[in-house]
Amino acid sequence: MSQNRQNPVGTRAQRGPWLEFLRPISTRESALLGLVIWVLFFVGWEVAAWRELVNPLLLPPPEQVLVSLYDLLVNRGFGVDIGVSILRILASFVAACIIAIPLGVLMGSFARIEGLFNPFVSAWRYLPAPAFIPILLAWFGTGEEPKLALLFLGVIWFLITLVMDHTRNVRDELIETAMTLGARRWQVLWTVIVPAVLPNILIAMRQMLAIAWTYLVIAEIIAATNGIGAVMWRARRFLDTDEILAGILVIGVLGLAFDLLFRWLYRILFPYLDRNGR
């Protein structure tokens, strides 16, 4: 496995200080460092719980959280709640993307379309989505609609703005080059602007998906009988802090998984952005 590891004596001479500007680290080292902080976190938690620095009712030790997570998953159908939450995220997020991405690209490409929509979008962006919860509940009752609508409203305006800004930043020279090669308007849009901005759109989606999780929990706490947030909220009533923490843990793990998925997609879809080729 590690035959090609360099001779430590040979490398010692070039080794710089531990913290160094502009010096990247290997994937392996970065994974290791990432693990270190988590280990420290759980050790700290464990110690705090074990020495009873905090009321054990409020802060159960990590292993107890894992045990109740196991119990929730195996005996109480928590898996279904997780699935429901993921579906809510996906449905509303996909809907937001279907509208926000084309609109943002058009707004970033054509000043007239921006002039038409931007005052509207900006105003909505300043309104905090949870402010709409009462009216959404009044309109839609307690079905799936108000939750999906909240997630949708929480994501779409920022996504439009991010996509628009990224589109506007496509270099003029690229567009002008295409035009002097004979590209017509829609050809410029499809063959230059869209491919140029696509990597940044994916990054914007990744950022907004994290926000969607925030709104999901709010929606499920306020108006749901199932989903991760609802389970956590129910546990609060019986002061089952281990179950609340289990829910938080699951959300964290899912968030990380989606983030990794996006990073992976980025590498798969845009190999040409890598200086060293594939």
Sign of the dihedral through C-alpha 182, 187, 189, 195: negative
Residues 142-171 that bind other proteins (CB under 8 A): 171
The answer for residues whose C-beta is within 8 angstroms of residue 54's C-beta and 6 or more apart is 48
Task: Name the residue nearer to other proteins (CB basis): 2 or 180.
Answer: 180
Please tell me whether residue 22 adopts helix, strand or coil conformation.
coil
Which range of residues in 127-135, 147-155, 182-190, 257-265 is near other proteins by CB under 8 A? 182-190
Binding string to other proteins for residues 92 to 131, with x set by CB under 8 A, is what? ----------------------------------------
Phi, psi of 7 (to 5 degrees): -65, 120
Task: Name the residue nearer to other proteins (CB basis): 115 or 134.
Answer: 115
Residues 192-221 that bind other proteins (CB under 8 A): 192, 195-196, 198
Task: Name the residue nearer to other proteins (CB basis): 108 or 154.
Answer: 108
Among 5, 173, 186, 268, binds other proteins (CB under 8 A): 173
**CB 159 within 8 Å of CB 100:** yes
Sheet strands (E) in 100-201:
none
Query: Is 24 one of the binding residues for other proteins (CB under 8 A)?
Result: no
Q: Which of 217, 216, 198 is nearest to 271 (CA)?
A: 198
Which range of residues in 86-94, 173-181, 204-212, 230-238 is near other proteins by CB under 8 A? 173-181
Q: How far is it, in rounded angstroms, from Cα 4 to Cα 208?
A: 41
Closest distance of CB 29 from other proteins, Å: 25
Q: How far apart are the first and last CA of the chain?
A: 22
The answer for residues whose C-beta is within 8 angstroms of residue 171's C-beta and 6 or more apart is 196
Query: Is 137 one of the binding residues for other proteins (CB under 8 A)?
Result: no
Packing angle of the helix pair 241-269, 228-237 (nearest 10 deg): 160
Task: Name the residue nearer to other proteins (CB basis): 3 or 180.
Answer: 180
Interaction site with other proteins (CB under 8 A): 171, 173-174, 176-183, 187, 191-192, 195-196, 198, 270-277
